[in-house]
A and B are shown apart, each in its own frame.
Chain A
Amino acid sequence: MDQTKQKILMGNEAIGRGVVEAGCTLTASYPGTPASEILASVVNFSRETEIKMHIEWSVNEKVAYEVALANSYTGKRSAVAMKQVGLNVASDPFMRSAYLGVKGGFVVIVADDPGPHSSQTEQDSRLFALSAKIPVFDPASPREAKEMVRKAFELSEKYEIPVMLRSTTRICHARQNVPCLPPERLERTADFEKDPGRWVATPQFLYDLHHRLNDKIDKILEEEDFSPLLIPGDGSLSKYCIISSGVAFAHTCDLLEDMKFSGKIDLFQVTMPYPLNKKFIRKINSGYKKILVIEETYPVIEMQLTNPEINGRNSKLIPNQGELTPDIIQDVLKKFLELPLEAGASPEQIKGKRPTLCPGCPHRAAFYAIKETFPEGIFPSDIGCYTLGMNLGAVDTCHCMGACISQGAGFYHAYAQDNGKFPTIAVTIGDSTFFHAGIPGLINAVFQKARFIVVILDNSTTAMTGNQPTPEVGIMADGTRGTPVLIPDLVKACGVRFLKECDPYDLETFTSYLKEADQYCRSEDGGVAVIISKHPCVLDKEAMKAQPVYSMRITEDCTGCEYCLNNFECPALVSDSDGERVIIDQNICIGCGVCQHVCPVGAIIAEGGGKK
């Protein structure tokens, strides 16, 4: 192994490195697990190799896609990165970009989350690529992911078509020693060639563009470089073959070796699951009697093989939901190869400690106040750390980015039409989510005369995914200053006439604003009330320096009622060993002081309050 050019890279870092090495000049993204680290890697490697690139955290994936697309129109290479549900948001430009095509290489990096580990669906983006008629690569390791970024750019440029690189959690968050090359320097200048029949493409042009797209796909599926790779067997199992792609291929390789079947059975790695090579389809269907397809997460390869005899998802040999872990694939291989199954070998469902808001998290204070003030309220919420408000009983729904505000309006209309009476509806949405998809919902709710409270949980960051900056903070992806866009300005511009801002650590004031907001919703000319709950994320070390730190203790008065444990749910509040009293875990308490207001008998005491 040549150590000099090897770096240990996470899959997402390897992808970012690949983007920089390919001479890309614009990368845009919106953070979301498991894709979040890609853009930061592009920032780091472009800086390290002194490559000039515009890199941005866009406000959402649709915007990211469109920004990157226009850069490609000028002949330059572009990349856009997102998680699988981000592609749902970007689906509008995604679908049309297949028809219109691109100029400079355009790579759509999408990270799927089989399991799912950190997502609201486990959808397969390769199926999305198929329905858009966009070629897709499926890497089996970080090393391969980096290599495929380069190939994707080349294929994209050759056929003037967007190309998707579909990664999955296990590739994104795997680390491997990866060889690194110096970046390609393409030295292209922006040159947008006007072509209204293509870039404006009114319906009359689309028949022809669709025809051209179909021709491109027909040629791409003949490309030998992207046809499935065969690791041949020794002929002892000549009627059998296994077809796999992505990380499932990697698991299968290691398993076959452990089971002493390596080199005995024909094993195909599909590197481009769509469009599937036509010769390959013929070869599989005519050459083998027992065929096993192992892929995540939907039967995309299987579907294109159009052979009802295939062993896979459709035959129910492989479960139709969940991640294909090595333990699951082991059972599948044994059944396929007709080997005895070990008793009790099936993996247990792994449970553990549930995640929780950090000690001192400002969201906890806000949720506590909301739940205390409106015990009978309905609480739509959204996607971010604050979904964990469900642990406090203050989150009743979570659907997709920005949905909470529209759902708040829907709940209002549903109740109000019955007899005019409606429960308090208190919506919670994070600052980054508000920028992403909350604004249209807010405009709509105001316009449609809905009456509910929106609490914008503004912690000045995108915390869940690794503290990426928001437009309000005004720091761009590369660390330079952008032009800040302020949330209060946006709220007012959406037509909201009740707006308050408050630090949720100040429970008393925050609660009084909640009550005031509820009165406003119910007043004669009331409507949507917005409260901005403003306090920095406790993971922001700089911001924490400015925060007073209290020394917390619990007095003898504690009755062990556990009200604080059940209703405030701070990890720093724990039962003592006998379960008779509550104690403070001083190792993790950050001294925010909020819990002193929570104890019904006043047994939690805050002292001091100096700064760090």
Chain B
Amino acid sequence: MKQQIIVSGIGGQGVLFLTRLFAQAAVEEGLDVLTSETHGMAMRGGTVVSHLKVGPFKSPLIRMGQCDVGLFINASNLDIYRNFIRPGGRSFVNTDISGEYYNIDATGLAKECGSLLVTNLVLLGYAVKEGNLFCDEGVMETIIRKSSQPDRIEMNLKGFKAGVSRN
């Protein structure tokens, strides 16, 4: 199994949290994993991106046109990182505008769940459902339980499930 994923958003939207969930899920599945994250000044509301490589890789970075799945918590980042997605790869975008990608109004659904903080988890749920990913919903649910702060577990799961059950 080899899979390359990018997660993008702006600083503060929970890109790093999703990256860690994916990495934990990979280990749970017995797979090697390498990720690369944005830290520093860009985290102050700037554009951030994480690369995630599952399987026998050595380099933590993904090249242009090699990425299998992209998660875009901020829709405008699609323009910046579109080139990373390989032909036939799948992009999941937080937007109510449809296009050549899988779109979901994650912000709207998160608001319905009662917390905008789970926008990232709504998008994750949708991607796990439709992205042909290395892990399934059940594994991700376990990881969310393990990795969330105790007082956030239920809300995070609610957001995740809202994404999974989107039609």
Q: When the two chains form their complex, are residues B59 and A254 in contact, meaning their CB atoms are under 8 A apart?
A: yes
Please, what's the 1-or-0 string for B72-112, where 1 marks a CB less than 8 Å from any CB in chain A? 00001100110100000000000000000000000000000
| Contact segment of A41-49, A68-76, A343-351 | A343-351
With a 10 A CB-CB cut-off, give which of B11, B45, B60 has the most chain A CB atoms. Answer: B60
Q: Lowest 8 A-B CB distances belong to which pairs?
A: A352-B47, A118-B40, A355-B46, A33-B40, A174-B60, A250-B58, A175-B35, A251-B59
B32 to chain A, nearest CB (A): 6
Interface, chain B (partner A; CB < 8 A):
10-11, 19-20, 23-24, 26-27, 30-47, 57-64, 76-77, 80-81, 83, 116
Interface presence of A407 (CB below 8 A): no
Q: When the two chains form their complex, are residues B60 and A250 in contact, meaning their CB atoms are under 8 A apart?
A: yes
Distance A326 CA – B84 CA, assembled complex (angstroms): 12
Q: Sample 26 A-B pairs with CB under 8 A, ordered by A number.
A: A3-B27, A3-B30, A8-B20, A33-B39, A170-B36, A173-B37, A174-B35, A174-B60, A175-B19, A175-B20, A176-B34, A177-B27, A249-B58, A250-B58, A254-B59, A255-B63, A326-B59, A326-B61, A345-B64, A348-B83, A350-B80, A350-B81, A355-B43, A385-B41, A388-B44, A571-B45
Given contacts A175-B20, A175-B35, contact A247 B60 (CB under 8 A): yes
Q: When the two chains form their complex, are residues A175 and B23 in contact, meaning their CB atoms are under 8 A apart?
A: yes
Q: Which residues of chain A come closer than 8 Å to B34, judged between CB atoms?
A: 141, 174-176
Q: When the two chains form their complex, are residues A170 and B32 in contact, meaning their CB atoms are under 8 A apart?
A: no
B19 to chain A, nearest CB (A): 7
Interface presence of A1 (CB below 8 A): yes
Distance A355 CA – B31 CA, assembled complex (angstroms): 35
Interface residue from A8, A36, A250, A254 paired with B24 (Cβ < 8 Å): A8
Given contacts A33-B41, A327-B63, A571-B45, contact A352 B77 (CB under 8 A): yes
Closest to A1 in B: B30
Closest to B31 in A: A1
Q: When the two chains form their complex, are residues A464 and B40 in contact, meaning their CB atoms are under 8 A apart?
A: yes
Distance A231 CA – B7 CA, assembled complex (angstroms): 33
Interface presence of A547 (CB below 8 A): no
Q: When the two chains form their complex, are residues A347 and B64 in contact, meaning their CB atoms are under 8 A apart?
A: yes
Interface presence of A587 (CB below 8 A): yes
Q: Which residues of chain A come closer than 8 Å to B35, judged between CB atoms?
A: 174-176
Q: When the two chains form their complex, are residues B11 and A355 in contact, meaning their CB atoms are under 8 A apart?
A: yes
Q: When the two chains form their complex, are residues B44 and A358 in contact, meaning their CB atoms are under 8 A apart?
A: yes
Distance A587 CA – B116 CA, assembled complex (angstroms): 8
Interface residue from B10, B44, B80 paired with A385 (Cβ < 8 Å): B44
Q: When the two chains form their complex, are residues B40 and A352 in contact, meaning their CB atoms are under 8 A apart?
A: no
Interface presence of A117 (CB below 8 A): yes
Q: When the two chains form their complex, are residues A353 and B23 in contact, meaning their CB atoms are under 8 A apart?
A: no
Q: Which residues of chain B come closer than 8 Å to A140, judged between CB atoms?
A: 58
